[in-house]
Amino acid sequence: MGIVLGDKFLSGLSCVSLLAVAVFVSSCATAKVEMADAYFNGNTISGEKMAVGPVVQIGGEPLRSHEAEAMRNQLTRAITNKRNYITVSHFSGPNIIHRTGGIAEDGISHSIRSAAKQKGIRFLVLTEVTENCVSHDVDKTCEERTEDIVDDCGKIIGHRHQGSTYTTTSRSKRKVAARFKALDLESGKTVWVSRSDSSNTASCSSQSTCCYPTAPPFPAPPSADGIGMTIARAAVRKLPRGGM
């Protein structure tokens, strides 16, 4: 007895197994403004310099320096593209500051603030990462393959079972959540906060025509900085628009 798989006829086999390629699924991100001072508006911002400061991580799996650097660059590009009335100045400083708790502003030392002010920077935008976690799960599904049975008049009178496809999928999901904060270096106060989160999933599936196959190895999880780009864009859309 043979099995038809696509356009191939496999003779003498009772079971066919396939390993599917990895698939990536991204979710959209929305942002919510948690706080905004009334004077932090388009008119005020347009006359001042803004810079993207360090990523301050207070929770989740530790970010690496290159991931934090990528997140800073993505936030800079997002501000430039979405709010082009804002003058975004380059500010080197550290890429990431790790803290075990507290708030991002506490991680910005006096020396960092002074260095930014010396460059004429009024507002320093920080990324406060509160969550960076990876989870795994395995899912099993079965798809029945049938064909229609028709009578002499072409009317469907039933269905004929042609076989089943059993799929076992391994998934790796990463979620990143952050607050984006604008720090007024003149007053030392936080004048704007927007929160955003998103997740990406990588999956890999094995298929069989006779039974559920063994779960394939979990794929490498999506990168944190890739998700960082999504949440940065969502947060920047909440920045005040240019003054009239």
Q: Which whole number is the average pLDDT over 216-232?
A: 93
Q: How confident is the model at residue 12 (pLDDT cuts 50, 70, 90)?
A: very low
pLDDT at residue 10 in the model: 39
* Predicted pLDDT at 21: 58
pLDDT score at 129: 95
| pLDDT tens-place string over residues 93-145 | 889 998 876 777 777 888 889 999 999 999 999 999 999 999 999 999 999 88
Compute the half-sphere exposure of residue 69: CA atoms within 13 Å on the CB side of its CA.
6
Q: Smallest Cα–Cα separation from 72: which of 225, 239, 241?
A: 225
- 57 near 99, Cβ under 8 Å? yes
> What is the Cβ-side half-sphere exposure of residue 70, based on CA atoms within 13 angstroms?
13
Q: What pTM was estimated for this model as a whole?
A: 0.80
Instruction: Quick: pLDDT tens for 33-79.
Output: 999 999 999 988 988 999 999 999 999 999 999 999 999 999 999 99
Residue 18 has pLDDT above 80, yes or no: no
Distance of CA 167 to the CA centre of its chain: 26
Residue 125 CA to residue 132 CA, distance in Å, equals 20
- The pLDDT value recorded for residue 9 is 34
Q: What percent of the chain has pLDDT over 70?
A: 88
Contact 96, 63 (CB under 8 A): yes
Tokens of 17: 């197994």
